[in-house]
Structure 1
Amino acid sequence: MLMKYSRVLPLKCLGLLLPVLALISWYKPANGPGDELQVPVTYYKLPNGLKVVLSPDKTAPTIAVGVYYNIGFRIEPKNRTGFAHLFEHMMFQGSENLGKMEFIQLVQKNGGILNGSTRFDFTNYFEVMPSHKLETALWAEADRMKGLKITQDNLTNQQGVVKNEVKVNVLNQPYGGFPWLDMPQYANKNWYNSHNFYGDLADLDSAKLEDVDAFFKTFYAPNNAVLVVAGDFEIPAARKWIDQYFAKIPSSKLPPKPDLTEPPQEKEQRFTKEDALAKKPAIAISYKMPERNTPEYYAMGLIDQMLGQGQDSKLYEALVQKKGYASSVNSGINIGLGSMFDYNGPMLWTSSLIHDASVPADSIIRQYDLAVADIANNTTQEDLQLAIVKMRSGLYDAMGGMFGIGKVNLLASFALFDDDPSKINNLETSFKKVTPELIRQVAQKYLAPNNRTILIIEPKASK
């Protein structure tokens, strides 16, 4: 199971790559003011602290169930890098009433799919099943929340699986971990934001059974989780089953959250990393993001659309179409691990490309500076409106994709981090409040050279 994408269970490349399954019936076209997202949201909490979000949608006879735990790799224990990801694997190794692999078999034999992933600030598990199997999905998720089967055999087995995953996905392929795994380690200073969250092989080996047990009892508790149900179901029945299966699970005493703040960056950082498997050089440029939920944060979301998203973006036009330095440019907030909506701490806007060896890195950086200067000096209302349209389109695609899990992801994130899943219906309003002047100001402040980190990948010459 990858953190960059998702666990490959019944379908290859499920992850973030699935297209929109069907038209979504719970939003309206943008014909004027007020014609924005209208996602049904029922939100409440059980006495044990479990957050519950219910969002009925009769589009298709399926249900999507997601359980998100407020523990990601950002705050995993020191000297245990990769532990949060390792633990994600352990959650598929059996529970009180379901033996090893039986959770997976239960879902698949009932016509469903399932997956899980570890991200900066949460670990999530989900199932998509026929709508009449909602009770089955809720019972199974409650069963492993209530009691995981933690054995030395399971731990040893999954340590080997994760170590092999690190080797296959990072160590033994060209550009492995670039830039999604590499860049946070170079750009950030606080250990919680800058360690190797995929896991050092020695740290993975050193994980003990008592570490796993303590981690589960502390963080995999109802008062550190949100349960989201979306799809074709009736709210009274769902509430009944949720109370029946989850309400008696005891809460835990959660430790204080560590300080995640990053010191202000005062000058540009540049690093070079050799890659023995790479055939061409590559470059990534990252800028530290404004704080979540601020006007500047929403402005950066729209700047991302202008600068890096699509073939009409300034970077694509400059670096691919005009200069021919590369065949593509990849850009985004929380790139490779999610979106601008599903994290809760310091974050980077990152852009990267693999380019011809004849092109100096400084020539590419010059094009970035010109594109940023264009936004900082020349953004108009027309430019802003186009960015809002692109953001809206991407937002709707995200919610309709992955058989409804995209919408589950947003609801869960807003419940975990903001205690307000209905925020999903206010996103467009927040983006529409951004002005061209704010776009220019944010570009000047946050896309300045003193706020960026540059990572250059150099192919290592064979001896």
Structure 2
Amino acid sequence: MKNKLLLLLFLATGIVGFGQKNNAQKSKTTEFNVPVEYYKLDNGLKVVLSQDKSSPTVIVAAYYNIGFRIEPKNRTGFAHLFEHMMFQGSQNLGKMEFIKLVQQNGGILNGSTRFDFTNYFEIVPSNKLETMLWAEADRMKGLDITQDNLTNQQGVVKNEVRVNVLNQPYGGFPWLDMPQYANTNWYNAHNFYGDLKDLDAANLEDVESFFKTYYAPNNAAISVVGDFEMGEAKAWIEKYFGGIPAVQIPAKPDISEPRQEKEKEFTKNDSLANKPALAVAYHMPTRNTPEYYAMGLLDQILIQGDNALLQKKLVDEKGYTSYVSGGINYLGNMFNYNGPMQLMFDVTYDTETSKKQVMDAVDEVIDGLSTKVNQEMIDNAIVKMRSQLYDDLGGNFGFGRADLLCSFALFDDDPSRINTLEDEFKKVTPEIVKKTISEYLRKTNRTILVVNPLLANNEKTN
């Protein structure tokens, strides 16, 4: 995370309103408030509206409560494959016409598959809101599921796997690799990008069943963020989404992870890498607990920014690496997931440096952390966290706000949580942080993954 002046963030994003509590607190206290109107249609669709008239644009985001984690066994990568299928045509829009519709109206769009949801969004001029709501509803009603479309997208996804993982130095490290090593439950530990054999095995029956099961209004949330009129937006949402029938959603499988009792270490050979690398991951506390928020602050203290303790030790003092990267949830942020997760960081380092040297320096930081924790350290971490949160909320013309609103609607049935996050971090005390360090930053709760570059001169990394 790059540190930014809060004042510049406030002025640039235009997404939050601020006010002082009283004159005595003016220099100390600011509050932000994201406008949130939340309701549900009769078919179960969760709807979140958040006005922001600072620019004449609007975001429509559609989130479905299906991600990598609970895709069918023997169909790894299927959730991601299906994301691609959603752009292949619907009842009234032919192949690629959805994309053309957005782009020809001056907008941008994208979609992604994450651990616990698949999302689609468009950012368009405000006067195209009705068009985008109609288009999203059109593909929620039904896809153009054909063998040609499926075969085409199987090839596209398999090519992504080859380009981004199989034929790439450090391919999949550590964002794809670490969950498979750190977790034990298949739902959390399988190759979510997809095994090539599983991708080939997907058939039309699989696609049709997946769509009917998960792409239903009662398994989805939409958010509208930006410059729009409430009455119009509500009327259009009812008009286009209200008649889509709900379905019976299957019970969610058990995705829990057992308590890790022994440190785990693995080596991944990589003939394309030119330097050794390692990643360290610690299992996270349960979402929304005091320890969860404490871990968020520990992320700021240890990893984020030039003043982070691991950065100062490994980069500034030891010179083992040029940068420490990491955080909570490499495929998003600490708020937009809903299951087991890791706090993780990774580094690359020169062959003259050993893995033991790097890990000894890491242990020096972690082992001495409890004795350093005080209120001042926590307060500084809260400032960094707040800056990052505001940055996320304003990112991509406000898409960060749409993302959290949909995530909190899906996971917590409470998108207004977006306005209480800072308060939750402020409840964290030095005692809670020390308790969190003891339970979650212990060596027996961590997994270490080392990349061995298979150097021609057979130099060792350990």
Normalised by the length of structure 1, the TM-score is 0.94
Q: Distance in 2 between matches of 1:275 and 1:391?
A: 35
Q: Distance in 1 between matches of 2:180 and 2:89?
A: 34
- Give runs of aligned pairs for residues 79-90 of structure 1, distance below 5 A: 79-90=74-85
Matched, 1:241 2:240: no
Q: Distance in 1 between matches of 2:275 and 2:130?
A: 52
Q: Distance in 2 between matches of 1:200 and 1:354?
A: 27
- SS, match of residue 120 in structure 1: coil
Structure 1 equivalent of residue 62 of structure 2: 67
Distance 1:403 1:56, change over 3 A: same
Letter in 2 for 1:416: L
CA shift at 1:32, angstroms? 6.2
Out of 270, 273, 290, the position equivalent to 1:275 is 270
Q: Distance in 2 between matches of 1:258 and 1:26?
A: 38
Structure 1 equivalent of residue 164 of structure 2: 169
Out of 202, 207, 214, the position equivalent to 1:207 is 202
8 A Cα contact 1:37 1:428, kept in partner: no
Q: Distance in 2 between matches of 1:142 and 1:73?
A: 23
Structure 2 equivalent of residue 153 of structure 1: 148
Structure 2 equivalent of residue 412 of structure 1: 406
Out of 449, 452, 462, the position equivalent to 1:455 is 449
- SS, match of residue 48 in structure 1: coil
Q: Distance in 1 between matches of 2:245 and 2:12?
A: 39
Structure 1 equivalent of residue 361 of structure 2: 367
Structure 2 equivalent of residue 97 of structure 1: 92
8 A Cα contact 1:308 1:329, kept in partner: yes
Out of 326, 333, 348, the position equivalent to 1:339 is 333
Structure 1 equivalent of residue 377 of structure 2: 383
Q: Distance in 2 between matches of 1:330 and 1:184?
A: 17
8 A Cα contact 1:21 1:403, kept in partner: no
8 A Cα contact 2:35 2:51, kept in partner: yes
Structure 2 equivalent of residue 392 of structure 1: 386
Q: Distance in 2 between matches of 1:32 and 1:206?
A: 62
- SS, match of residue 18 in structure 2: coil
CA shift at 1:287, angstroms? 0.2
Structure 1 equivalent of residue 4 of structure 2: none
Q: Distance in 1 between matches of 2:394 and 2:15?
A: 10
Structure 1 equivalent of residue 245 of structure 2: 250
CA shift at 1:37, angstroms? 2.2
Out of 12, 24, 42, the position equivalent to 2:14 is 24
Q: Distance in 1 between matches of 2:215 and 2:11?
A: 31
Structure 2, unpaired ranges of 5+: 1-8, 21-25, 458-462
CA shift at 1:341, angstroms? 0.1
Structure 2 equivalent of residue 51 of structure 1: 46
Structure 1 equivalent of residue 424 of structure 2: 430
- Give runs of aligned pairs for residues 182-331 of structure 1, distance below 5 A: 182-331=177-326
Distance 1:20 1:273, change over 3 A: farther
- SS, match of residue 302 in structure 2: helix
CA shift at 1:444, angstroms? 1.7
- SS, match of residue 225 in structure 2: strand
CA shift at 1:46, angstroms? 0.3
- SS, match of residue 449 in structure 2: strand
Distance 1:170 1:29, change over 3 A: farther
- SS, match of residue 401 in structure 1: helix
> C-alpha deviations, 1:401-428, integer Å up to 9, x for none?
1111100000011000000000000000
CA shift at 1:21, angstroms? 10
Q: Distance in 1 between matches of 2:206 and 2:10?
A: 40
Between 371-380 and 169-178, report the one with greater CA deviation: 371-380
8 A Cα contact 2:75 2:199, kept in partner: yes
Regions of 4+ moved over 4 Å: 29-34
Structure 2 equivalent of residue 355 of structure 1: 349
Q: Distance in 2 between matches of 1:129 and 1:285?
A: 40
Q: Distance in 1 between matches of 2:439 and 2:360?
A: 18
Structure 1, unpaired ranges of 5+: 1-18
Letter in 2 for 1:311: D
Letter in 2 for 1:310: G
Structure 2 equivalent of residue 14 of structure 1: none
8 A Cα contact 1:54 1:228, kept in partner: yes
Q: Distance in 2 between matches of 1:139 and 1:358?
A: 59
Q: Distance in 2 between matches of 1:150 and 1:142?
A: 16
CA shift at 1:462, angstroms? 4.9
Out of 134, 137, 153, the position equivalent to 2:132 is 137
8 A Cα contact 2:15 2:393, kept in partner: no
Out of 104, 109, 112, the position equivalent to 1:109 is 104
> C-alpha deviations, 1:31-69, integer Å up to 9, x for none?
467632200000000000000000000111000010000
8 A Cα contact 2:15 2:394, kept in partner: no
Between 29-38 and 183-192, report the one with greater CA deviation: 29-38
